[in-house]
A and B are shown apart, each in its own frame.
Chain A
Amino acid sequence: MNAPLIGVSVQRKEDYRFLTGAGQYTDDVTLPDQAYAAFVRSPHAHAAIKRISIEKAKTAPGVIGVYTGADLANAKLGSLPCGWLITDVNGQPMKEPPHPCLAQGKVRHVGDPVTVVVATTLEQARDAAEKVEVDYDVLPAVVDPVKARGTKENAGAPVLHDIAPDNICYVWALGDKAKVDEAFAKAAHVTKLDFVNNRLIPNAIEPRAANGSYSRANDAYTLYVASQNPHVERLLMTAFVMGLPEHKVRVIAPDVGGGFGSKIYLYAEDVVVTWAAKQLNRPVKWTADRSEAFLSDAHGRDHVTTAELALDKDGKFLAMRVKTTANLGAYLSTFASCIPTILYATLLAGQYKTPQIYCEVTAVFTNTTPVDAYRGAGRPEATYVVERLVETAARELKIDPAEIRRRNFVKEFPYQTPVALQYDTGNYGATLEAAQQLADVKGYAARKEESSKKGKLRGIGYAAYIEACGIAPSAVAGSLGARAGLFEAGEVRVHPTGSVTVFTGSHSHGQGHETTFAQVVADRLGIALEAVDIVHGDTSKILFGMGTYGSRSIAVGGTAIAKALDKIVAKGKKIAAHLMEAAEADIEYDRGVFKVAGTDKQKAFGEVAFAAYVPHNYPHDKLEPGLNENAFYDPANFTFPAGTYVCEVEVDRDTGQVSVERFTAVDDFGKIINPMIVEGQVHGGLVQGIGQALTEGCSYDAAGQLVTGSLMDYCLPRAGDVPSFKIDTRETPCTHNPLGVKGCGEAGAIGAPAAVMNAITDALGVKDLAMPATAQTVWRSLQKKAA
């Protein structure tokens, strides 16, 4: 009999290895006879390749292979696929230009891989890569999505792909435009804002890495790769690019040093090292340096939007109209197409009963690094639109920003939004009220006065976000264009003496699944936490998996495990009934013990497990020996975490420097397994969100050179840039999974940017300000206002 483990801040099982340097990240894996790859990348944003001369590189010391796009084409390696088909408003499929692993005739962004050099040492590979000569015919480039999209004004804009002569991948819309226009015509007030949701560069601290090897003896490949979803990586690589049978490819994503979306995708380098390993009959390792990471990891966000909110005279929302141009970069990354559509427009209802919403999205190719999901993925962009509009409307109508939200909150559940989603549960008033209390909003006026005495401006801003996690169900996603399932798999292996190994298709790269999932298993079986180990990240061990993204792991992966546990207990009951000569219907399972109801007869979990593997006294006529079960879980709906964030900033009038003085977050994640881990997820998300608002802004010059191409130019928040946080939770359990869980990984990054920008615009007394609100941007705004 063991104590409950749900809702307990258990210390993490994985910490010992990380704290002692015993973690095994991809670059830590060095195989016998290891060779190293270096990629030659395009220095130009847009150019035709006239000639590639590899002779000098081939004869450089230590070089064992040099390959170009022509070699990959000869080997019939396919294009990197996109996993989501969006259908254009005119009914046509989106434009899917080829995305070769090494450039074929043309490069389309700085960093586009052109040639790979493999050598005995990394230094030799890098030295030899310098000797590859590529003659380029440089073409004009376009980096601004609004200037790239095919319109009369943009006639003559550079064209990236023949298949998309207007650089438009698709135009997509959601909602009833006529009804929205009608509501706007009758509105008492309209609030309108233009936004740029700034492009971000994910910057997981572990750079991407891949180490491919090939065994002639087994005719089989192994790829170690810094990935969030090794099974998806394998499926895409084998079925769509390399034409290999999956059972001949093992993908291992060992310890992974943060992902934030950027390690979901199948990247060119992963394919190239795997393919080259067979050509050379040697393992080939590539690890990005930070400069390569900046140029080649999928970026995030990059929307240009005009949004309007129609209200009646009492501040009730009548309709919302949103027009967005989304920058996809030079190629379609793995899930790029669904981010500014399915994961964006569907979230525009926020926490509110806005009856009519229309959103139109034009997705555009530009000569920039491909853009895909980055922590939040579409939902931060939607929240930014909604919460900046709502706060601005409140100011314009002179209604308290909390009050205008309260007047419009969805209060009855389930709630069908006008943008496809159905919220199952929530209590938005509760998180708002708790956030106001915890933030001491009542004391704000006094704090503003204090700031004023110091000569500083002070502002307060709210954001009441909603997110949709655990994208599902597969059938609905499929009808919307998903080319993959969105279930998760789990397997529970009970060993003969009653300890348990669990295999999950979710992948942990900081989230602490080895602890949280073990808590779920130990709690539900009523066994010791130490008796449970979680295995993830290896396609040869785990039956299948869709991986970790979109805050789905506990809701989808955790539920798959819970379903497998149910099967374990069900089989255990049959075995226990036989052992105790009782009817199966009379067996109860209570925290580690099978009991015959109404008697004192019982068998411990371990005894039943032992009987399953040493089946001397066993119902062989009815039951197979062994105690090992798996489950696939395909959710009935998304989960809908929500919460309210309150930010207070101080602004230095002379320098424009913004300081986040207080930040309060109250979230509703449904049931929480490990509060300590959940708090950590919130902290991390908040700082990424604050980073977007204050410090992080990807910048390209007009020629397409990445100006913010290093950590000295792209400002990740440092410890001194952010405060400690006040956080709390409220709980409305998810109604459609047995754990009642919703997910917490992205909330901070979704809610924080709007809260920070609402606070800064309040402090400055301006309607709008661009992110990131660097000292220069704020100072300019102050000067403009003074003038």
Chain B
Amino acid sequence: MSVKVSMKVNGKPASAELEARTLLVTFIRENLRLTGTHVGCDTAQCGACTVLMNGRAIKSCSIVAMQAEGADIMTIEGVAKPDGTLHPMQQAFKENHGLQCGFCTPGMVMNALDFAKGHPNPTEKEVRESLEGNLCRCTGYHNIVKSIMAGARAMGGKI
């Protein structure tokens, strides 16, 4: 069974005829070729596939694309300014060495954006708790925590 799915991705309309079982992450990666959103586990454990759906961080491997019908999706490719300037959260990851291999990074940044909206000046404990759904195997989290604390302060509660 195929279905027509339409949504907005990074501010642009995107639609396709898809098999009903197509995951949102598959639509993003394979149909739109936005390969910054990664698949690390297929079971909603690692968070590498995190995107913003209507402003909330969700795991795009765990919903089918048609559940995002009409939604406003933001992926890592839509975070920097159009001129390429990094968003303050991305900049904070760079300055604090909050990434190594880069594979979990898009999910970390997307999750952090959602978290920082409500936490303009978070504590280390709050940040660590916010990372419950995101795994990193490289950094030991130390510098990710520093990055998110700095990024959240720089954002001042606004994406």
Contact = CB atoms under 8 A, between A and B. Distances in A.
Contacts of A205: 38, 40, 46, 48, 101, 103-104, 135-138
A307 B109 CA distance: 46
Contacts of B106: 21
Contact of B45 (A677, A680, A685, A712): A712
A512 B142 CA distance: 17
A20 interface: yes
A676 B75 contact: no
A296 interface: no
B147 to A, nearest CB: 10
B11 interface: no
Interface string B58-98: 00000000000000000111011000101000100111010
Interface string B117-149: 000000010011101101111111111110000
Contacts of B128: 719-720
B39 interface: yes
A511 B135 contact: no
B3 interface: no
Contact of A719 (B42, B75, B80, B131): B131
Nearest to B33: A30
Contacts of A291: 42
Contacts of B38: 25, 205-206, 257
B43 A718 contact: no
A290 interface: yes
A21 B103 CA distance: 9
B43 A712 contact: yes
B79 A20 contact: yes
Interface stretch (A7-15, A413-421, A494-502, A561-569): A7-15
Given A15-B99, A207-B40, A720 B93 contact: no
A787 interface: no
Contacts of A18: 99, 101-102, 105
B112 to A, nearest CB: 11
B17 interface: no
A123 B141 contact: no
B100 interface: yes
A57 to B, nearest CB: 19
A19 B137 contact: no
B16 interface: no
B43 A290 contact: yes
B144 A258 contact: no
A748 B43 CA distance: 29
A12 B100 CA distance: 9
A716 interface: yes
A289 interface: yes
Given A21-B106, A23-B102, A676-B97, A258 B137 contact: yes
Given A18-B102, A206-B38, A511-B100, A683 B139 contact: yes
A19 B86 contact: yes
Given A16-B94, A20-B77, A20-B80, A257 B36 contact: no
Nearest to A685: B140
Contacts, number: 177
Contact of A290 (B42, B99, B124): B42
Find the residue from B39, B84, B124 having the highest chain A CB count within 10 A: B39
Interface in A120-178: 123
Find the residue from B45, B77, B84, B127 having the highest chain A CB count within 10 A: B45
A684 B139 contact: yes
Contacts of A203: 137
Contacts of B15: none
Contacts of A207: 39-40
Contact of A204 (B42, B79, B84, B137): B137
Given A258-B101, A677-B97, A27 B138 contact: no
A588 B79 CA distance: 49
Contact of B41 (A687, A711, A725): A711
Interface string A247-266: 00000000111101000000
Q: Chain A binding site: helix, strand, loop or mixed by DSSP?
A: loop
A720 B106 CA distance: 20
A25 B132 contact: no
B6 interface: no
A512 B94 CA distance: 12
Nearest to B135: A716
B77 to A, nearest CB: 4
Contacts of A22: 36, 77
A733 B89 CA distance: 37
A255 B104 CA distance: 13
B139 to A, nearest CB: 5
Interface in A93-134: 123
A315 to B, nearest CB: 34
A448 to B, nearest CB: 23
Given A15-B93, A30-B30, A687-B140, A206 B101 contact: yes
Contacts of B19: 123
Contacts of B109: 19
Find the residue from B29, B77, B100, B143 having the highest chain A CB count within 10 A: B100
Nearest to B89: A19
Contacts of A725: 140, 142
A710 interface: yes
Contact of B127 (A712, A716, A719): A719
A680 B93 CA distance: 12
Given A21-B77, A719-B144, A680 B100 contact: yes
Find the residue from B42, B80, B137 having the highest chain A CB count within 10 A: B137
Nearest to B124: A724
Contacts of B75: 21
A22 B86 CA distance: 13
A178 to B, nearest CB: 45
B104 to A, nearest CB: 5
A434 B79 CA distance: 43
B10 to A, nearest CB: 10
A123 B41 contact: no
Contacts of B141: 683, 687, 718-719, 722
B21 interface: yes
A19 B94 contact: yes
Contacts of B97: 11-12, 676-677, 679-680
10 contacts: A11-B95, A15-B94, A20-B36, A20-B79, A21-B37, A205-B137, A258-B101, A290-B43, A719-B134, A748-B140
Given A205-B138, A685-B140, A716-B135, 16 more contacts: A14-B102, A15-B99, A20-B79, A21-B36, A22-B36, A27-B35, A205-B48, A205-B137, A206-B38, A207-B39, A257-B38, A287-B39, A676-B97, A683-B142, A684-B138, A720-B128
Interface of B: 19, 21, 29-30, 33-43, 45-46, 48, 75-77, 79-80, 84, 86, 90, 93-95, 97, 99-106, 109, 124, 127-129, 131-132, 134-145
The list of the 5 closest CB pairs from A to B, nearest first, reads A21-B36, A257-B103, A18-B102, A510-B101, A687-B140
